[in-house]
Structure 1
Amino acid sequence: MVRIINYKERNKEDGTSFFVLELQGGIEMIQSKETGNFYATAKKAFIPSTFDEQTCVALIGTDMPGSISKEECEPFDYVVKETGEEITMYHRWVYVSEEKVISKPLNSAINSQKNLEPELKQFSQNGILEHA
């Protein structure tokens, strides 16, 4: 589940504007590589919308099915706001609908269903526990 937490106005190449919705996933606990301590964080992503500003404001706080997933992309430079450090990123965070999240595991489970068939000779046929 993700939640709409904000919106931002963006400009197209032709100068017209549109709004994107800022989505946030659930809380995650991450362990620091430097200190070993845990900290709480949440993944965020932006999705474009066709909504006007008033609708975007009204949508803040709305939960939507789906998740935020890491996706590889062309490298780009990013400035860390807190430190001013410029780093090169090779991924971005994207919204994935619930249908896509669910369909992958289901398809793989269906394809491997043959492997889930129990081998009956391994189970007791008379209901009495017998040690091998």
Structure 2
Amino acid sequence: MDVFVYGTLTAPERVGELLDSFVFVGPATLAGLQLVEGRYPTLAPGGETAGRLLRTDEVGALDAYEGVDDGLYVRVAVPLEAPDGYPDTAAVYVGDPDRLAADAAWPGRGPFRDRVSSYLSERDVAVRIDERGGV
């Protein structure tokens, strides 16, 4: 699976502590969501975020690191604008700003996961591979 990472997971040393098998595909940009600092970095509607595209089959380890089962972050799929040979989507972890003490708001009502999913389905959000990147 390809995962757009920003924050701590852009450091190879940190990823190496979590995963046995991974490769950084290259630099990428997440259009439509901006980086917001809190207790941990997260994303909020608008803008764009620079990061890296990480490829691994160890998604369970990333979910555990991001606290998905505890609701700290949600893993969502967004379109991946990339050359042939790449998957159609990339996973992105979005942290709950209320739980992370981040100054961000997601529109809508209901659970955080639902608000993120709704926003993504209504907006043009995508990961773009940087031209310098490659498989």
Instruction: Give your verdict on TM over 0.5.
Output: no
Using the size of structure 2 for normalisation, the TM-score is 0.25
Structure 1 or 2, whichever has the larger Rg, is 1
Using the size of structure 1 for normalisation, the TM-score is 0.25
